Amino acid sequence: MPALTDSPVFTSFTLPNGVPLPNRLAKAAMEENMAVYGQLPDDALFTLYRRWSAGGAGLLITGNVMVHAQALTGPAGVVLDADTPLEPFRAWATAAKSGGSHVWMQINHPGRQVQANMPGVAWAPSAVRVDIGAMSKRFAEPVEMTAEQIAETVERFAVTAARAEEAGFDGVEVHAAHGYLLSQFLSPLSNRRSDQWGGTLENRARLLLDIVRAVRERVAPTFAVAVKLNSADFQRGGFDADDAAAVIAMLAPLGVDVVELSGGSYEAPAMTGQAGDERSRAREAYFLTLAEELAATSPLPLMLTGGIVRRPVAEEVLASGVDLVGMGSALAFDPELPNRWRHSAQAAVEIAPVVMKDKAVASAASMARVRRQLRRLGSGRGPRLGTNPKVALVQETVAQTFALRRYRKWLTT
C-alpha cells in the first residue's frame, strides 16, 4: 500500500471555540429525506452516517433538520423541535461519531420553498412565489410573515440547537443559503418588506443575526455554531458576493465558528452545478472564484462546498485561503473517498453531469440520483455509479408520494 499522504487536507483545524477538527474535510449536508413515521431518524440514517464516519472525513454535517414541524422541504424530512423524542437523535449522533468524526446538525426552515401539495405553512418575508417558469405552481403560494411568526422562528432555531447539543451533536449549522427562509430574507428579490426586516442589507440580515445570537446563548461555548451562506444567488439584482462579505462581517462578533459558502436556490440551482454564471461553471469547486474573493477579507474561517471530487482540487481550495473543504455528492457515490485520498492523489469518483434543457428539472434529477445512493448506503449496500438520473427522479417521486401520506397522518395527530 502507498505511504500515507502529508497533504494539507489531512492536517487538523482548530475552530475559534478552541475545538480541533481531525482534518480539513467535511461531509457537506445533503438532504436525505429518509425520515420514518414521526419525522424521526432510524437505522438507515444511522448506518449511512456510520459508513461516512468510517470513511475518513473529519466533520459530518447532516442534511436538513427542520425546526418547524409544519414547514418541511419534503415529506420525509427530519424534524427536531420541543416535542420530539431525543433518543433517535442520540443514536444518530453516536453513529456519526463512531469513526472519530465530529458531527454538526444542519438546522433549517424552508420558508416559501415548500411543495404546493404539502400540508402546513408556507411562510416567507414577502408573498412572492418561487419562480421556476412552468413548474412554479408546484410550489405553495407563500404568505408574508408577521412579527410574531418571526419571533417564533427565532425561538424554534434556538430550541432545536439546544436539543441537538443535548442529543450529543458537536455543533449546528444554521442554513441561510439555497433559497430557504433565511436566504429569502437576505435577498432583495424575495424580501420586499419595508419594516425592520426589509430594505437595507442590515435589516434583511436581522433575522439571521437574531437566530445566531439566540442559538449561541442556548449552547455551550465549545458547541460549534456555523452558518451556511450563499456566496451569491446568481440572479440579477439578488444577494451577491459583496452582500456575502458584509454579512460575514456582521456574523464575526456573534460567536460563529465557520461560514460555509455555497450558492444558488431552486430558482437558480447553482448548488447542483446548474448555474449560468461564468464564475461557477467549473466542473469542480463551483464557487472557488467567489470564495477566494471572500477569503481575502473574511474575519471568520470559511468552508467551500460544490462539486469537489479530487484531492488536488481540495488542496487548491485550501491554498486559496479557505479553511475547510466540503464534499457532498462525491461521498454519496464513494463514502471511502477521504481514506483513499490519504494514499493517492489520483483517487477520485467520476460523476456524470446531469444535462437537461430545464435547469430546475436537471437539479431535481441530480438530487434524486444522490438520494438514491444515500438509501443504498443506508441499507448496507454499495453505491451505483451508473444510476440513471431520470429513473432516480421517477423513483424519488413515488417515494415522496408515500412519504406525503405518512406525513399528513402524523401531522394531524
Give me the pLDDT at residue 251, please: 98
User: Alpha carbon of 339 to those of 200, 377, 385: distances in Å?
Assistant: 46, 17, 19
Residues of the chain with pLDDT below 50 are 1-2, 269-283
Assess contact for 181 and 153: CB atoms under 8 A: yes
* Proportion of the chain in helix, strand, coil states, percent, rounded to 5: 40, 15, 45
Which of 35, 174, 20 lies closest to 108, judged by CA? 174
User: What's residue 280's pLDDT?
Assistant: 39
C-alpha cell, 104: 454538526
The architecture in CATH of the region 8-412 reads: Alpha-Beta Barrel (3.20)
Amino acid in the structure at residue 105: M
**Per-residue model confidence (pLDDT) at position 271:** 42
C-alpha–C-alpha distance, residues 325 and 362, integer Å: 25
Q: DSSP letter at 404?
A: H
Identify residue 7 by its one-letter amino acid code: S
CA distance 203 to 186: 9
What predicted TM-score, i.e. pTM, was given to this entire model?
0.93
pLDDT of residue 289: 82
Measured distance CA(206)–CA(327) in Å, rounded = 29
d(CA 71, CA 401): 17
Q: Is the dihedral of CA 214, 105, 367, 83 positive or negative?
A: negative
